[in-house]
Chains A and B, each alone.
Chain A
Amino acid sequence: MIEAAKARLRRTMMFVPGNSPKMINNAELYGADSLMFDVEDSIAVSQKDAARLMVKYALKALPFNCETVVRINHVTQTPFGIDDLNAILPSKPDLIRLPKTESVEEVRLVTKMIEEVEAREGFPAGSINIICAIESVRGLYEVRAIAKEPRVVAIALGGEDFIADLRTQRTERGIEFYHARSEILMAARDAGIQAIDTVYADVNNLEGFCREVTDIKDMGFDGKSVVHPTQVTAVHEIYTPTEKQIAHAVKVLACYKDAVENNKGVIAVDGKMIDGPIVVRAERIVAQAKAAGLLAEEGCEDEK
């Protein structure tokens, strides 16, 4: 199950304030791959318990079809994180997002609590996994180890706190994230997990947003955290492969399947040799195409 969680399509992870019933109710309508219910930074200290309970019951009551994530408060640096976990884990979110992750110990503490709840509630092991947000230089220096923790399926960059730590500000070019993005991406890939980019807070600047999404997609990020429904469509469009890419990927997978089933040795598509990485890339493109509705679920087998 953990392996499946590591491979799940996460082009968009949309933040939803955990204390707004209206937003929680409607959140799924915009098609984000993951919904991140926030009980951390968007919630005032006086509202922490209200948001925690709201998210706990929303996860139980509402039939979400997408991935559900809860961003909890820090487990050792705030008095709220452990209470968050105790309340929310029994509602079985797909992921817990740890904010401001700085050490492997924090991850292990949460992993232990998850394993206990899974056992106690009778959830299959691996039902609930972890995404860690790196939001400080300290965290960035630990990211390689953090990414290799068994329940961690993705690393996210938490940009706003990170630039505060760097003593700089957001720029049009994004130079301030140059190192952090690279480091996080490498650490994630080294661990075989996903990398998710930080939010783009200026929701009215769709042009700047699209430029940034194109950049991080080209860098290799699996997706982006978003703060507004209008950003979801934009990311998905940018993450939608071209018709040519889709056609090629479908062909690659068909040849690969044929080769495996008929014990063929070396295979080639359009005169180029097909090996492991090309198959993996083709699988990713087909998954993105399906998510964009450009390919029927069983489409790749019917196509030539």
Chain B
Amino acid sequence: MKNKVGRELPEQIYGLKQYRPYEGLFVDPPTPVRMAGRTLRVGRPGANKVLASLEEAIEATGLSDGMTISFHHHFRDGDFVNKLVMTAIAAKGLKDITIATSSLNDCHDFLIDYIEDGTVTAIETSGLRGKLGAYLTKNPGKLKRPVIVRSHGGRARAIESGEVKIDVAFMGVPTCDRFGNATGREGKSACGALGYAMLDSRFAEQVVLVTDNLIEGYVFPYSIPHTDVNYIVPVEAIGDPAGIASGILKITKNPIQLLLAEQAAKVIEYSGYFKPGFSIQLGGGGSALAVGRFIREKMVKQNIKGGFGVGGVTGVFSNLLEEGFFEICYDTQTFDTTAIKSLKENPRHVEMSSSFYANPWSAGPIINNLDVVILGATEVDLDFNVNVITNSNGLLMGASGGHSDIAAASKLSIIVMPLIRGRLPMVRDRVQNIVTPGESVDVVVTDRGIAVNPRRQDLVDNLRKSGLKLMTIEELQALAHRYIGKPKEIALSSDDKDIVAVVEYRDGTLIDVIRKPL
């Protein structure tokens, strides 16, 4: 079958449901879908939820071969919970476990061992990186089915609609009380918002909280309510605080990233959306953070006050909130200690679940009201399709994240990337893998020129006054080729058994498959 972005895809992929092809940005499901729910259980008065070990929790939940467990990625590269739980599961001799996590980082490379010994046989995630990403790209068939890559909004949709059924959610929480009310605002492993954990806790059959700060008193306000929590396991440490969040994420000094940020800020300024009450998502990448600085200067100069911000929130944004440049900020995950402090102390800094953030199957996630977003890319193509999941060698090394969600929902999506990385042009004829379809991408900002999607003639007209170097995407590509030539396409296996991952669009349709490079 061929989908709307022109990808030729197999009708049936081993181990997976029959997919519908991607058909466009906002398409209703063919038949009505009802929200899924967990089995309701009777809570007994006086029951003690606190267990001595993860092994006990595994027994208590009845976790068994073939089941699905979930984790969140709020501890980023400092996460210990995944490893603690998987070690306990492997010690129990359980096999054929599906890990359905909100994302994976370099610290999860150890999963290779558990894939090798059959403990883990399937993975569903937003991101894959490091050795694990390379291993899975090079070794199709190690898992019983390809990795399913979902966006944050897509994962929320899949969980709420029952496409993903989590048997046990193992949620690391920086602080919780003995009833199971939990927060990420406090504790030595404080991570800020628990937006992904909020959703898993709400929909998993059973929920086990893992914490290194079980307090005698009462947690309030809480992100996870005790009514969703079956068991609590105290452990020595749920993460490495340095890997979870550090100081304030600094604005880059890299001159290229600053240049990109300055250009992106100028695009925003002249786009027509830069007016009182405008809303923005900046993200935590180097250039995106710097955009915050340049936008602040423009807001001061033109006396403009923004409406709301969404994120992935950093100290750069929480400081803008604190200074009164924005009225409110909605936060699914908090990137540094400055922003964590803000979440704790500033009532206008509001925590939200990943569903509130980006679920396309709801009455409207917050991003449906978003004006401007700054996004990155590993590469884009002449149709403005964006890859953020594989690198130039075809290896899994990124994350779908909220990319496709925000691009589709916002009024102005700006991709920011250098035109050339190393000796490779970042504007391709066809991207290696599509995560975000070009019909949801508006502007590509590079260090050597800016291309506006031709379907946005209004933006072209507005940006003409900016003095920015506007080009067609083809001109941009030709410019890159002039400097470094056109590289050979990498060869990919055409064997359907060599599909290593599928990329779901946020509505659960199939937008692309990731094949093993030869």
- Which residues of A are interface residues toward B (Cβ below 8 A)? 25-26, 29-30, 62-63, 228-230, 293
Does residue B447 face the partner (Cβ distance < 8 Å to A)? yes
CB within 8 Å of A: which of B216-243? none
Most buried by A among B255, B258, B448: B255
Min CB–CB distance A240 → chain B (angstroms): 13
A228 contact from B255, B447, B467, Cβ within 8 A = B255
**Does B259 lie within 8 Å of A30, measured CB to CB?**
yes
Please name 14 pairs of A and B residues whose Cβ atoms are closer than 8 Å in the assembled complex, sorted by A. Answer: A25-B420, A25-B483, A26-B255, A26-B256, A29-B256, A29-B259, A29-B447, A30-B255, A30-B259, A63-B482, A228-B255, A229-B255, A230-B258, A293-B467
Which among A25, A62, A230, A293 is the interface contact of B255 at CB below 8 angstroms? A230
CB distance from A18 to the nearest CB of B (A): 18
Could you tell me the distance between the alpha carbons of A25 and B482 in the complex, rounded to whole angstroms? 12
Are A26 and B483 touching (Cβ within 8 A)? no
Q: Measured between alpha carbons, how far is A26 from B448 in the docked complex, in Å?
A: 9
| Assembly CA distance A274 to B51 (angstroms) | 92
CA distance A228 to B255 in the complex (A): 8
Q: B-side interface residues toward A, CB under 8 Å?
A: 255-256, 258-259, 420, 447-448, 467, 482-483
Residues of A within 8 A of B448 (CB): 29
Candidate in B258, B259, B420 with the most chain A CB atoms within 10 angstroms: B259
Residues of B within 8 A of A229 (CB): 255, 258-259
- 9 additional contacts, CB 8 Å, given A29-B259, A229-B255? A26-B255, A26-B256, A26-B447, A30-B255, A62-B483, A228-B255, A229-B259, A230-B255, A293-B467
Give Cα A26 to B259, complex, Å: 11
Among residues of A, the one whose C-beta sits closest to the C-beta of B448 is A29
A59 to chain B, nearest CB (A): 14
Which chain A residues border B420 with CB–CB below 8 Å?
25
Q: How far is the CA of A230 from the CA of B447 in the complex (A)?
A: 15
B352 CB to nearest A CB, Å: 36
Of all chain B residues, the one with the shortest Cβ separation from A27 is B255
Across-interface contacts of A293 in B (CB, < 8 A): 467
Chain B residue numbers with a CB within 8 Å of A230 are 255, 258
- Shortest Cβ distance from A28 into B: residue: B448
| A66 CB, nearest partner CB in chain B, Å | 14
Q: How far is the CA of A41 from the CA of B483 in the complex (A)?
A: 28
Which residue on chain B has the smallest CB distance to residue A29?
B447
- With both chains docked as a complex, state the minimum distance between the C-beta of B463 and any C-beta of chain A, in angstroms: 14
> Counting chain B CB atoms within 10 Å of each CB, which of A29, A63, A230 scores highest?
A29
Residues of chain B within 8 A of A228, CB atoms compared: 255
Bound-complex Cα distance A30 to B256 (A) = 8
* B-side contacts of A63, CB under 8 Å: 482
CA distance A63 to B259 in the complex (A): 20
Nearest first, the 10 closest Cβ-Cβ pairs linking A and B are A229-B255, A293-B467, A29-B447, A29-B259, A26-B256, A30-B255, A30-B259, A230-B255, A29-B448, A63-B482
Minimum CB–CB distance from B205 to chain A (whole Å) comes to 52
Q: Return B256 CB to nearest CB of chain A, in Å.
A: 6
Q: How far is the CA of A100 from the CA of B258 in the complex (A)?
A: 34
Residues in B whose Cβ lies below 8 Å from that of A29 = 256, 259, 447-448
| Cα A25 to Cα B484 with chains together (Å) | 10
What's the nearest-Cβ distance from chain A to residue B80, in Å?
37
* Distance A293 CA – B420 CA, assembled complex (angstroms): 26
B40 to chain A, nearest CB (A): 60
Distance from B429 Cβ to chain A, minimum over Cβ atoms (Å): 23
Chain B: minimal CB distance from A22 (Å) = 9
Residues from chain B with a CB closer than 8 A to the CB of A30 are 255, 259
Bound CA span A26–B420, Å: 10
- Complexed CA–CA distance, A29 and B467 (Å): 15
Considering the chains assembled together, what is the distance between the CA atoms of A104 and B259 in angstroms?
Answer: 41
Which residues of chain A come closer than 8 Å to B255, judged between CB atoms? 26, 30, 228-230
State the Cβ distance, A42 to closest chain B Cβ, in Å. Answer: 17
Distance (Å) between the CB of A108 and the closest chain B CB? 38
A243 to chain B, nearest CB (A): 15
In the complex, which residue of chain B has the Cβ closest to the Cβ of A31?
Answer: B259
Contacts of B259 in A (CB 8 A): 29-30, 229
Q: Once the chains are docked, how many angstroms separate the CA of A271 from the CA of B448?
A: 46
In the complex, chain A residues whose CB is within 8 Å of the CB of B482:
63
In the complex formed, the residue of A with least CB distance to B467 is A293
A298 to B: closest C-beta gap in Å: 16
- How many angstroms from the CA of A62 to the CA of B480 in the assembled complex? 11
Report the separation of the CA atoms of residues A25 and B480 in the bound assembly, to the nearest whole angstrom: 11
Q: Chain B residue with minimal CB distance to A62?
A: B483
Residues from chain A with a CB closer than 8 A to the CB of B467 are 293
Docked Cα-Cα span, A230 to B290, in Å, equals 13
Nearest chain A residue, comparing its CB with the CB of B262: A233
A254 to B54, CA, bound (A): 84
Residue picked from A26, A228, A293, most chain B C-beta under 10 Å: A26
In the bound complex, CA of A229 to CA of B467 (Å): 20
- Cα A26 to Cα B484 in complex, Å, equals 13
Closest to A23 in B: B255
Question: Which residues on the A side are within 8 Å of B258 (C-beta)?
Answer: 229-230
Distance in angstroms from B516 CB to nearest chain A CB is 31
Q: Shortest Cβ distance from B478 into chain A, in angstroms? A: 12
CA distance A63 to B420 in the complex (A): 15
**B416 → A minimal CB distance (Å):** 14
Closest to A293 in B: B467
Measured CA separation A229–B258 after assembly (Å): 10
> What's the minimum C-beta distance from A204 to chain B, rounded to whole angstroms?
9
| Minimum C-beta distance from B260 to chain A (A) | 10
Assembled-state Cα–Cα distance A293/B256 (Å): 21
CB-based nearest B residue for A26: B256
Bound Cα distance from A230 to B483, whole angstroms: 24
B504 to chain A, nearest CB (A): 37
Report the nearest B residue to A292, measured CB to CB.
B467
A75 to chain B, nearest CB (A): 32
Compute how far the CA of A174 lies from the CA of B38 in the bound complex, rounded to whole angstroms: 74
Closest Cβ–Cβ distance, residue A54 to chain B (whole Å): 15
- B476: shortest Cβ distance to chain A, in Å? 14
How far apart sit A29 and B262, CA to CA, in the bound complex (Å)?
Answer: 12
In the complex, residue of chain B having the shortest beta-carbon distance to the beta carbon of A294: B467
Determine the chain B residues whose CB is within 8 A of the CB of A62 once the complex forms: 483
Inter-chain CA distance A297–B447, complex, in Å, is 23
A229 to B252, CA, bound (A): 13
**How far apart sit A62 and B482, CA to CA, in the bound complex (Å)?**
9
The residues of A that contact B256 with a CB separation of less than 8 Å are: 26, 29
